[in-house]
Amino acid sequence: MSRRAQLKPSLVLGLSQRLTITPSLLQKIELLSVNQLELSEILQQELEENPLLDEISDHFEAGPEASEPTRESEQDEGSLEAGSRLEDLDFEYFFGDYLGSSYERQEFEPVEQKASFEHFLSSADSLLDYLNWQLNLSGIDSDLRTIAYFIVGNLDEDGYLTVTPEEICQQLQVSSESVDAALAAVQALDPVGIGCRDLRECLLLQARAADLEDSLVGALIRDCLPLIEARKFSGIRNRLACDPEDLSRALELIRGFSPRPGQKYTAAKPVYVRPDVHIRKVGDEYQISLNDDGLPKLRINRSYRKLLRKNGVSKETKSFIRERFRAAIELLRGVDQREETIFRVCRVIIRHQYDYMESGIRKLKPLLIKDVADELGVHPSTISRVVANKYAHTPQGVMQLRRFFSVGVEHANGENVSTMQVKDRLRTLIQQEDPKKPLSDQKLTDQLNRDGIRITRRTVAKYRDQMRVPGSLARKKANLL
């Protein structure tokens, strides 16, 4: 038979297994991986989009319909099988925990409306606002002020000019003399050093403002800046023929200058952490409580259930209610499952890290995500999602859940020591070293080995880099002056 004859359409019946991720499963995965702040945003969005969801107020008082639920029929779990109609289910039996009373039954206590302190807060001025305010008060010509506005608008967050004078001339169709005059006006503004094109010009401008441009400070900035960055102080003394004492005083003055003058007004906003879990010691045991402050408390509105049983309601309306009801149930179940999983993981963490809760970082034990997953009978990816971007408030302070997990380094007594303990010991040794004779990586390794921690010099160097601690030579140069 030819190859062409074999290629013809046909129907083939076969069996295969596939892993299908349903929208409900995707939602549960998302809820498990988000932190408390992100969960609050998700619940608020669902509250706005799903009319079947109600938020329970702190001042809510349920009416008699909510306080005394009635069982209209006795149904078993078989009623939830495919083929049963949603409007025939006994909602009180299956979903009583999620049901709330209708709006006409809700009573709210009057709450005194007080002015929020947020109304009295003002945002800090940005670098752009501050410079434009100074330009408005200056007496420069209007044409030069227009060029100065353009220059200020092209400063980066550090205060450096991101365009060349030639580009400014081309963009605004002005002369180079006008651009130089406008740039000089911008550089005369506060903070000193603003509007420069590189670090040398920025430092020279600050030296000029301090009347130090013609001194050793100015010479160092103009001619020896690469040598200063490389800490080659002997080469600087040979080039400028200066005394070590004079060089030390001049470098101390340069250290007082700001290499990023614009950072004062463009500092990064602080990142606020809201713990997802509180771990408190009560007696001899640690208790776990999930932080639900700021989370909306959701229930399903009962009034929509009546529409499913009411005659005269269109099929489209009932179909919409069924769809929104299922979405609300899946959301509330997903939130409950998220809380249960986080609680179980934290309970295992406390059991393994009890000594850390009592004594601090030096008692942190090695713990792997795989070990917790095997103990709880779940996949390691589930544990990874639980501990991702989440914080716990412990007796030792606020700590990322992920930091409870670390690999171990073998100790002389046969036990494993957490890498965080090793880094803490390494940090202590470096802090206690003689600044004039810093410890090399080999000497640090020898000391750790004497402490019983079996570790190689290569691993010590890796941990030191992770801690952003320079090598012994760089630390020695930094302490020469």
Lowest mean pLDDT among 43-57, 262-276, 312-326: 262-276
For residue 460, the tally of other CB atoms under 10 A from its CB is 24
Q: How confident is the model at residue 81 (pLDDT cuts 50, 70, 90)?
A: very low
For residue 30, the tally of other CB atoms under 10 A from its CB is 15
Q: pLDDT digits over 207-239, tens only?
A: 888 888 888 888 888 888 888 777 777 788 888
- Identify the pLDDT of residue 152: 86
- Identify the pLDDT of residue 62: 45
In this predicted structure, the answer to whether residue 44 has a pLDDT above a threshold of 50 is: yes
- Identify the pLDDT of residue 97: 52
- Residue 106 CB partners (closer than 8 Å, separation 6+): 60, 61, 62, 63
Could you check whether 127-264 and 408-478 share the same CATH topology?
Answer: yes
Task: Please state which CATH number belongs to domain 408-478.
Answer: 1.10.10.60
Q: Encoding tokens for residue 87? A: 């409007």
CATH architecture of the domain covering 127-264: Orthogonal Bundle (1.10)
- Identify the pLDDT of residue 268: 60
Residue ranges of the domains in the chain?
127-264, 408-478
Distance in angstroms (rounded) separating the CA atoms of residues 415 and 438:
30
Q: Which of 68-82, 211-225, 278-292 has the highest mean pLDDT?
A: 278-292
DSSP state of 268: P
Q: pLDDT digits over 60-71, tens only?
A: 444 444 333 334
Task: State if pTM tops 0.75.
Answer: no
- Identify the pLDDT of residue 477: 67
- Identify the pLDDT of residue 6: 62
DSSP string, 202-256: HHHHHHHHTT-TTSHHHHHHHH-HHHHHTT-HHHHHHHHT--HHHHHHHHHHHHT
SS3 341: helix
| Residue 414 or 363, more confident | 363
| Residue 304 or 462, more confident | 462
Q: Encoding tokens for residue 49? A: 């989009």
Mean pLDDT across the chain: 77
DSSP string, 140-160: --HHHHHHHHHHHHTB-TTSB
SS3 67: helix
Q: Encoding tokens for residue 396? A: 């030792």
Distance in angstroms (rounded) separating the CA atoms of residues 129 and 237:
43
In this predicted structure, the answer to whether residue 3 has a pLDDT above a threshold of 80 is: no
- Order of all β-strands in the sheet with 53-55: 53-55, 298-301, 99-100
Lowest mean pLDDT among 5-9, 235-239, 458-462, 464-468: 5-9
- Residue 387 CB partners (closer than 8 Å, separation 6+): 345, 369, 400, 401, 402, 404, 405
Using alpha carbons, list the distances in angstroms from residue 139 to 130, 134, 147, 182, 207. 16, 10, 14, 12, 25
Distance in angstroms (rounded) separating the CA atoms of residues 410 and 453:
6
The mean pLDDT value for 129-152 works out to: 84
SS3 478: helix
Query: To the nearest 10°, the Cα dihedral for 304, 310, 315, 319?
Result: 30
